[in-house]
Structure 1
Amino acid sequence: MSVLLSEDTTGWPPEKIVFPVGRIELRVLDGDHPYHVEHAAAARDNWNRELAANPAFYDGRMLFQHRLSVSEEAITGESYVSPFSTFMYWRGQRERAGGFHVFAFGMVVSSDGALIAIRMGQHTANPGQVYCPAGSMDENDIVDGYCDVEGNMRREVLEETGLDLRDGVADPGYFATHSDRSVTLLRVYRFPLTADEMLASIRQHMLVDEEKEIDGALAIRSADPTAHHYSAAMPAILAWFFGEAK
């Protein structure tokens, strides 16, 4: 069945709720994202300001979605490999348009029911924010012309925490939530280790991690949205996880 891809969110499920997703197909196109072509000069000027404020930033390449269809049946879309600087310019606009950010949370759950999260380092693009270990999809996550969502989750969790999602048991199916043209894909992975054991393992990983992206890990045990400096996606995810999925 043909799916109509669009640059708007008409007909999507309501924002800031978590819903099941039957299928995910995110195709990667050749060439430049139209948003990048249109806003290249403004994005370059903004990037110079970003670098002046944080010289640790790196203008890598990531998958920036162009058109997207979101429903419980499927999330399908088309993306381009784009500079991180273009995404940062788009993200900073008061009214976002012309693209979508799709990223994935591998939700790591301990044997005693805690959700394991990370706190981002002050030198990153999300300083001090607390969320599930994750990162934007990039060229490493392209398989046969499509975004490999599961591969992205495994890579990011492993890089940031040293935990391998293959050591956990995945709950059936994917879920998603969205807000302000950012779509978060979710899958729960349950580990045979307690929260204390998992946090100790992450602390050991942090000692040898060259990237130093995170400055700590936490065991979350409630849906309280004020307990930490959560990213924008987390309150809805916590309400769903501790209300329905735990």
Structure 2
Amino acid sequence: MTSPVIHRVTTLDFAVRPMAWPFAEERRAEIAAHFAEKQRERPKLWNGRILLGRDPVFSSGRFTATYFETDFASFLAWRDWGFPDKAVFNGFGMGALRASDGAFIMGEMAQHTATAGRIYFPSGTPDLDDVRDGVLDIPGSVVRELAEETGLTSVDYVAEPDWHCVVTGPSIAMMQVLNLDMPGEAARARIETNLAREAEPELSAIYLVRGMSDLTPTMPRFVTAFIEQQFASR
């Protein structure tokens, strides 16, 4: 895998436009069969509409790209088959929760999700609910996903202005540090209380990362690259 590259920007500029995806059209039957198999493994998987990106450009503190709509089944096949269309990327926002004592807070994805067992910051593949007047609203996506996964809302944290865009091959994770006014253990307890109220939470466990020794193989490379940079700058 290509070594991660981290771009620090202040502006995200993503137009959403109608676009045919040859991969999805040409391999539709294979994609449908693949998704049916995945649904047998995890019946809660839903073939909703999501957004993927093309033509990423980083310049003068700005990240620009074009996003297009497709179905989750096509995205899942593209991911599971080793990203055969190299012109497409999965670009998503992540809320990098940081407690007042410096601990970063992550969640383990529950077994019914498509990324079961992976540990990372609250996030989600952008979908049509994140589009505003033809533009993809990644900051709004981060707020929404954070509330859905942890119960925390924008009154609970202060967002830093910069975005740390971690490029790892076909994935671009746009991370915004969100500073909580509470220590790590208190934040974890509050999130766990919220999870306990849900019938089927997206997260199965909450982890605190205070140093490099807390990183695990179940954390994606874009997460560990970001953490490495954060702790190196302290």
Q: Which residue of 2 aligns with 1:30?
A: 18
Identify the match of residue 199 of structure 1 among 185, 188, 191: 188
Task: State whether structure 2 residue 31 is matched by structure 1 residue 43.
Answer: yes
Provide the identity percentage.
25
**Aligned runs of 1:123-138 on 2, under 5 Å?**
123-138=112-127
Q: Which residue of 2 aligns with 1:171?
A: 160
How far apart are residue 58 of structure 1 and its match? 1.1
Residue identity opposite 1:47 in structure 2: F
Identify the match of residue 45 of structure 2 among 57, 61, 78: 57
Q: Which residue of 1 aligns with 2:93?
A: 104
Residue identity opposite 1:102 in structure 2: G
List alignment gaps of at least 5 residues for structure 1: 1-13
How far apart are residue 189 of structure 1 and its match? 1.1
Separation (CA, whole Å) in 2 of partners of 1:212 and 1:30? 33
Residues 15, 177 of structure 1: 8 Å contact kept: no
Separation (CA, whole Å) in 2 of partners of 1:80 and 1:19? 23
Separation (CA, whole Å) in 2 of partners of 1:194 and 1:28? 39
List alignment gaps of at least 5 residues for structure 2: none
Q: SS in structure 1 opposite 2:141?
A: helix
Provide, for residues 31-79 of structure 1, a one-character-per-residue CA deviation record: whole Å limited to 9, x for no partner. 5434322332221121122112222211111111233224563221111
Task: Work out the number of aligned pairs and report it.
Answer: 232
Separation (CA, whole Å) in 1 of partners of 2:84 and 2:61? 25
Separation (CA, whole Å) in 1 of partners of 2:148 and 2:83? 32
Q: SS in structure 2 opposite 1:199?
A: helix
How far apart are residue 226 of structure 1 and its match? 4.6
Separation (CA, whole Å) in 2 of partners of 1:163 and 1:81? 28
The alignment's C-alpha RMSD in Å is: 1.9
**Aligned runs of 1:75-86 on 2, under 5 Å?**
75-86=63-74
Provide, for residues 74-101 of structure 1, a one-character-per-residue CA deviation record: whole Å limited to 9, x for no partner. 2211112211100001101235324110
Residue identity opposite 1:60 in structure 2: G
**Aligned runs of 1:220-231 on 2, under 5 Å?**
220-224=209-213, 226-227=215-216, 229-231=218-220
Q: Which residue of 2 aligns with 1:188?
A: 177
How far apart are residue 23 of structure 1 and its match? 2.3
Assess, with a 3 A threshold, how the Cα gap between structure 1 residues 71 and 49 changes in structure 2: closer, same or farther: farther
Residues 35, 99 of structure 1: 8 Å contact kept: no
Q: Which residue of 2 aligns with 1:6?
A: none
Greater shift, 95-104 or 192-201, is seen at 95-104
Separation (CA, whole Å) in 2 of partners of 1:204 and 1:182? 32
Separation (CA, whole Å) in 1 of partners of 2:215 and 2:182? 27
Residue identity opposite 2:30 in structure 1: A
Provide, for residues 94-130 of structure 1, a one-character-per-residue CA deviation record: whole Å limited to 9, x for no partner. 3532411001111111111100100011121111111
| TM-score of the aligned structures, taking structure 2 as reference length | 0.91
Q: Which residue of 1 aligns with 2:150?
A: 161
How far apart are residue 224 of structure 1 and its match? 3.5
Separation (CA, whole Å) in 2 of partners of 1:49 and 1:71? 42
| TM-score of the aligned structures, taking structure 1 as reference length | 0.87
Greater shift, 68-77 or 38-47, is seen at 68-77
Provide, for residues 183-223 of structure 1, a one-character-per-residue CA deviation record: whole Å limited to 9, x for no partner. 01011111111111111111111122244111011111012
Residues 110, 191 of structure 1: 8 Å contact kept: yes
